[in-house]
């Protein structure tokens, strides 16, 4: 099941023309990581739709905010070198964050994301990194079971943006079913 540009625009109406750029690489990433079928695809697109501001942001907007300032020195993110917080800010459609996650993602995708973290801003890598993260966290299983709140928890560490995520999910289920 491939997603068309029209379907993506119905789910993420604010994505505009960039939807056409993302459709082919999004479909390839979803197939590679078995994000197939309406339940999985709807949950995945809703989550990346929220995380990326409907495909507008492939790099976290940096203040730094109080929360972002706390990325610096966070051992759980692998941020052990001064400047890692900003260098390894959220990137890709699911906002991969932290040196350790960049390293793991880079190994999985055969990319040197430690030296070139901005590679995750390219549409192909933005999609692949999101699908890799999804698969690495076992989110297909949760999608199959309809456990959308648990998916949000694993991606976000909380329920930030839960209402928007739920709205996108409902819309995606309707469009893809």
Q: 134 with 33: CB under 8 angstroms? A: yes
Give the tokens for residue 78: 């692998």
**Number of domains composing the chain:** 2
Give the tokens for residue 2: 């491939």
* Residue ending a domain, choose from 119, 146, 161: 119
Structural domain boundaries, residue 83: 66-119
CA separation for the pair 114, 100 (Å, rounded): 9
| CA distances for 94 relative to 40, 55, 59, 70, 177, angstroms | 15, 10, 10, 19, 23
Whether 51 and 70 map to the same domain: the answer is no
Whether 100 and 114 map to the same domain: the answer is yes
* Residue ending a domain, choose from 104, 119, 134: 119
| Residue 1: predicted pLDDT | 73
Whether 100 and 130 map to the same domain: the answer is no
Whether 52 and 73 map to the same domain: the answer is no
Whether 166 and 138 map to the same domain: the answer is yes
Chain-wide mean pLDDT for the chain? 97
Whether 72 and 96 map to the same domain: the answer is yes
CA separation for the pair 41, 80 (Å, rounded): 35
Whether 11 and 53 map to the same domain: the answer is yes
29 three-state secondary structure:
helix
137 band by pLDDT with thresholds 50, 70 and 90: very high
Q: Is the pLDDT of residue 94 over 80?
A: yes
Give the position of tokens 């610096």: 72
CATH code for the domain of 82: 3.30.20
126 band by pLDDT with thresholds 50, 70 and 90: very high
Whether 127 and 115 map to the same domain: the answer is no
Alpha-carbon torsion, ordered 87, 90, 91, 93, to 10 deg: 180
**pLDDT (tens digit per residue) in 1-58:** 799 999 999 999 999 999 999 999 999 999 999 999 999 999 999 999 999 999 999 9
């Amino acid at each position: 099941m491939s997603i068309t540009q029209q379907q993506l625009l119905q789910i993420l109406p604010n994505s505009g023309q960039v939807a056409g750029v993302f459709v082919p690489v999004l479909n390839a990433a979803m197939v590679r990581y078995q994000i197939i079928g309406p339940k999985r695809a709807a949950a995945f697109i809703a989550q990346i739709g929220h995380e990326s501001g409907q495909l507008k942001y492939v790099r976290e907007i940096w203040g730094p905010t109080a929360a972002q300032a706390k990325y610096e020195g966070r051992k759980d993110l692998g941020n052990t070198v001064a400047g890692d917080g900003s260098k390894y800010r959220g990137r890709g459609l699911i906002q991969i964050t932290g040196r350790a996650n960049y390293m793991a993602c880079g190994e999985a995708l055969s990319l040197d994301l430690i030296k070139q973290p901005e590679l995750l801003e390219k549409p192909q890598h933005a999609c692949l990194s999101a699908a890799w993260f999804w698969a690495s966290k076992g989110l297909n299983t949760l999608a199959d079971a309809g456990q959308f709140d648990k998916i949000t928890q694993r991606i976000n560490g909380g329920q930030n943006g839960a209402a928007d995520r739920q709205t996108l999910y409902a819309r995606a289920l309707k469009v893809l079913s």
